[in-house]
Amino acid sequence: MRLLIMGPPGAGKGTQAVAVAEHIGGAHISTGDIFRANVAGETELGKTAKQYMDAGKYVPDEITNAMVRDRLAEPDAAAFVLDGYPRTAEQVAVLDDILGSLDESLDVVLSLVVADREELIQRMLKRAETSGRADDTEEVIRHRQDVYEAETAVLLPIYRERGLLVEVDGVGTIEDVQKRIFEALDAVPQA
């Protein structure tokens, strides 16, 4: 199975994506994690990405797209959960192209729904107490919500129109949300 997991910052995407990858027996591919690994390793990619990440901005598409293209071509990515990509309309088009060239397609786009912006911000502030992430300050957290609303929320209708979107209520305990996700995925017909 090949799927995207989408949702605003603080919706619990990363946590749920790990469990979903295990559930479907696929790779968990998080662009945020790959960027953070590059920042930690002080690679050229990491140095460039860090400036954007620390400000809560998106890393430019040409950098992100090339990274995802390479990652999806790796042998363990026959089944995957893509977490944090695509985030712009341009990335949607590039992902279509990447999958087309691999003769693959998406089975489902999972959207974690948490409508209350303040709840998201409070969750992220709580995470900030332990995450050590430079982009987990209140100002940056608020900016990341704005960027999500402006750039990424508009992708949901694109996938809805394609008949791929499955929305899951993201409010509740991690276990409750996970159960809802697994039930929703188990009901999805696979290509």
Residue numbers belonging to the annotated binding site for AMP: 31, 36, 57-59, 84-87, 91, 133, 144
Among 15, 52, 93, 127, binds ligand AMP (CB under 6 A): 52
Q: Could you say whether residue 158 binds ligand AMP (CB under 6 A)?
A: no
C-alpha distances out from residue 53 to 13, 69, 72, 166, Å = 17, 20, 22, 28
Cβ closer to ligand AMP: 90 or 188? 90
Cβ closer to ligand AMP: 73 or 179? 73
> What is the b/e burial string over 80-115, where b = at least 16 CB atoms within 10 angstroms of the residue's CB?
bbbbbbbbbeebbebbeebeeeeebebbbbbbbebe
Cβ at position 79, least distance to ligand AMP in Å: 20
Q: Which residues are catalytic?
A: 13, 87, 127, 133, 144
Given the rule CB under 6 A, which residues bind ligand AMP?
Answer: 9, 31-32, 35, 52-53, 56-59, 64, 84-85, 87, 91, 135, 144
